[in-house]
Amino acid sequence: MHPYRLLLRLYPASFRHEYGAEMSTIFARRRRDAPGPLAGAALWIETIAEVLPNAALVHWDVLAQDLRYVARTLRRTPGFAITAVLIVALGIGATTAAFSVTDFVLIRPLPFPEPDRLVKLWEKTPGYATMELSAPNYHDWKAAAKSFASLGVYRAAAVTMTSAGEPRRFIGSSVSADLLPTLGVAPIIGRAFAADDDRDGAAGTVILSYQWWQTEFGGDPNVVGRSVIFDEKPYTVIGVMSREFHFPTSDVLFWTTNRFGERDYQPQERTNNYLYAVGRLRRGVTLQQARAEMDVIAAQSIQQYPKENKDTGAVLLLLSEEVSNRSRLLLMALSGAAACVLLIACANLANLLLARALGRRRELAVRAAIGAGRERLIRQLMTESLLLALVGGALGIAVAVVAVPLLARLVPATLPIAAAPSVDVRVLMFAARLTLVTGIAFGLAPVVRAGGSPDLDGLREGSRSGGGQKERLRSALVVAEIVMSVVLLVSAGLLIRALLTVQSIDPGFKPEGVLTMRTELPMPAYGRVATREAFYSRVLREIRAVPGVTSAGYVSFLPMGSMRGGIFPVSVKGDVEAANDTRRANNVAAIRYVTPGYFEAMAIPLKRGRDIGASDSRDRQFVAVVSESFVRRYWPGEDPIGRHFTFAFADREVVGVVADVRFRGLERESEPQVYLSSMQVADGAITFYSPKELAVRTTAPPATLATLVPGVRAIIRQADPKVPITRVQMLSDMVDLETASRSVQVRVLSAFALIAFVLAGIGIHGLLSFSVSQRTQEIGVRMALGAQSSDILSMVLRRSVVLAVAGVIPGVALAYAAGRSMEALLAGVKPADAPTLVTAVGLSVLMTVLGSLAPTLRALRVDPISAIRTE
């Protein structure tokens, strides 16, 4: 090919076809006229310099012309333009929002260097897939393991700090000195923990989170070296972490050291599991190799400590896979729903454009007949599609910006990342790509159609014939929309059923009208039982005297609160094996110390015997109130009152039986519960479980419950101003929190289902409207030949029924499969739940009827005479 022809390819094809030959002729003449090779070269340079800007300008001209044309045609059909833009916006908005959140939690790597080498090490004990490590096991395993470049541990910590006379509690984490280096992070100010900071008896040191440094220390640049008082002991600030560092969860404000000593590594500590271990694998060591090594090490420690480490294994998981299966499943479901909505949106749009292209066949044929090239028509249609996609995409991003904060509530708070995902640049790029692909995808459908018949068919046949094959394609798209909307409706329905199921679970107590708060008694000031009792009895007596208060009581930890564990082994006389066996799934119970009045305050029904009383003091027989499941396990069918068992280092006599409480949460089976008298414990022993959470039952209506708070606060303040008051909340709010994430799930999935439902309805409406308008003449002829309204009605409705049936059947099958895959989210609701399926199918039929209503009425109103005359 001549080089000049090649250069001409820079122009739009339509321009080239029109003027290419002429331009070549002119170029050839100039070549001929050029005297000598030097002038020839100059001509070439001049030509190239001329073609580049001119080609760009011609492209611009064409684009401007097309945009003018598109704007004109869209203005003529505003319904089409608005529908198309909204469909794209919803599809892209929903997908972008879902992707933002999923990317944030599941895809984005952890904010630590080489995150794929970071692992979490757990113990595995009977009944628990993952169990925290005990300090001695951690100590031994760390010394033995060769797979890790480093291994560190952390545990929850909370301290009371008094400033301006006001004691306040702050959440932090107590870590080993090697934890931060294991993660690969260092303070931005000051230094990291040294091994000496983590020794038994070392002076207290603390590293601040950036957030706490800002809020509590005013961002003081000289904060390093400052002394702070935690729980009445001095700590020195040695560093501040970066703003992005959150570990292990986003609410941790500071880090101190464990300072373990000999006492923490004693044999009896082997069953005291409270440490979380994070390791960094040595370079070149795979997860499988490390697991194999840990299995061997765990087997060795069973041999060494056959009693304490009975059936104890080691589990190694990638830190990045910390996200619980439920969260993962939920986010997958969310992404799946978003993908469904996007597919429906695209199918709808393609259908819309197909119908439009069909309606414009005559126009396109006329334009082709008067000389518009195929390329020109294709380019114009593509411009239209891309314009719609871009406007829709921009609107979709706006939808995403609004939707992300809502979806953000699905992010588990237990991740080492900042709490709120936002629509970021990467996600915007994703949306942009999506916009483009969608634009081209639905741009192509009409182009193929328009391109396929640039002949004069459109002129000859009029705009009536749709062509059987194309009609089938459009019907298939609508059927696909119905299928997906059925899947979404069923999924949303199943989750709603699951939510209702969970909400109807009896927690074992009555949360309405109960005010709760936490008053952590400072240790060692309250190490003695008598000191604590003086506080409890004074506070409870005064609170009970407050008008409206019917009962009040203290407990170690309220159900469904911050601490849901607290499991001790039980040994019952005669059950010799269990007595020697500290590691057995079915011989543990939850320990809770209570004051008299706790059961009444919580409305936990007393089934037999009596409550813990004021007379159950330390010099009397140690007593226990146990839950019904405890009785079922040890004394099925027998009277438990008066029976004895050993628990928390002492012999206990059962004096009462209460109903079971779901202290681990609404959706989890909880271990049997044992309630002990707050007085029956040795001074300084088990102070972790000494009662600190207060429940106050009132007759006040829920709305006015908060007005009691100042009075209760004053009572506690007067009893001891050093006691911090935290977590003041309604018990009912704590229970509602249990289903909060479920409610959000339901709302989100329902929103997706609603969008899909509306889109599919629009799709059916569009298809039937179009086919009715295409068949106006046929309907007119039929009516003229004597067809009744009912005949016409059944003609149109038959179509919509066929579409609905064709969509609902595979839809239900797919929905069942989707339900099976998210069974873990369903709280026992079966994927084939009949009410849900029936409702979803009913809604789909309703949608079909609604979608076909307007077209059907239009068909009935066809006037035979004018219909036949039209052509």
Partner 1 sequence: MTDLQREADAFLPLPPATFHILLAVADEDRHGYAVIQDVSERTGGELKLSAGTLYRSIQRMLEQGLIVEPRERPAPHEDDERRRYYRITPLGTAVAKAEARRLTQLVRMARAAGFVPGKA
Match 């102070």 to its residue by tokens: 687
Closest distance of CB 25 from partner 1, Å: 6
**Does 292 contact partner 1 by CB under 8 A?**
no
d(CA 175, CA 529): 30
For partner 1, the closer CB: 6 or 425: 6
Q: What is the dihedral of CA 462, 465, 470, 472, to 10 degrees?
A: 160
Distances (CA, A) of 849 to 348, 758, 765, 839, 862: 18, 13, 9, 15, 20
Closest distance of CB 806 from partner 1, Å: 48
d(CA 856, CA 768): 8
**Does 39 contact partner 1 by CB under 8 A?**
no
**Does 585 contact partner 1 by CB under 8 A?**
no
**Does 576 contact partner 1 by CB under 8 A?**
no
For partner 1, the closer CB: 62 or 588: 62
Applying CB under 8 A, the site for partner 1 has a residue count of 22
Among 3, 54, 420, 650, binds partner 1 (CB under 8 A): 54
Among 9, 17, 25, 610, binds partner 1 (CB under 8 A): 25
Among 41, 42, 57, 398, binds partner 1 (CB under 8 A): 57
Residue 256 backbone phi and psi in degrees, to 5: -125, 180
**Does 48 contact partner 1 by CB under 8 A?**
no
**Does 375 contact partner 1 by CB under 8 A?**
no
Among 1, 22, 72, 669, binds partner 1 (CB under 8 A): 22
d(CA 177, CA 154): 10
**Does 27 contact partner 1 by CB under 8 A?**
yes
For partner 1, the closer CB: 366 or 476: 366
d(CA 18, CA 490): 57
Looking at residue 461, its amino acid is E
For partner 1, the closer CB: 57 or 857: 57
d(CA 548, CA 705): 10
**Does 50 contact partner 1 by CB under 8 A?**
yes
DSSP alpha helices (H): ranges in 453-528?
A: 457-461, 468-503
**Does 476 contact partner 1 by CB under 8 A?**
no
**Does 55 contact partner 1 by CB under 8 A?**
yes
**Does 3 contact partner 1 by CB under 8 A?**
no
Match 């038994």 to its residue by tokens: 200
**Does 838 contact partner 1 by CB under 8 A?**
no
Among 3, 9, 17, 21, binds partner 1 (CB under 8 A): 21
For partner 1, the closer CB: 48 or 846: 48
The DSSP annotation for 554-590 comes to: EESS-TTSS----EEEEEETT-HHHHH-S--TTSEEE
Closest distance of CB 453 from partner 1, Å: 26
Query: Which secondary-structure segment (H or E) carries 240?
Result: strand 233-240
Query: Which secondary-structure segment (H or E) carries 431?
Result: helix 425-452
**Does 47 contact partner 1 by CB under 8 A?**
yes
Match 């483009």 to its residue by tokens: 436
Closest distance of CB 36 from partner 1, Å: 19
168 close to 160: Cβ distance less than 8 angstroms: yes
Q: Is the dihedral of CA 14, 17, 22, 23 positive or negative?
A: positive
Output the CA angle 389-395-396, nearest 5 degrees.
Answer: 80
Closest distance of CB 23 from partner 1, Å: 4
What's the token pair of residue 639? 């009277």
The DSSP annotation for 52-72 comes to: HHHHHHHHHHHHHHHHHHHHH
> Judged by CB under 8 A, which stretch of 15-23, 217-225, 273-281, 643-651 contacts partner 1?
15-23
For partner 1, the closer CB: 8 or 725: 8
Do strands 567-572 and 189-190 pair parallel, antiparallel, or not at all (unpaired)?
unpaired
> Judged by CB under 8 A, which stretch of 51-59, 304-312, 439-447, 589-597 contacts partner 1?
51-59
For partner 1, the closer CB: 18 or 295: 18
**Does 23 contact partner 1 by CB under 8 A?**
yes
Output the CA angle 430-412-591, nearest 5 degrees.
Answer: 170
* Chain positions contacting partner 1, by CB under 8 A: 11, 15, 18-19, 21-23, 25-27, 29, 46-47, 50-51, 53-55, 57-58, 61, 65
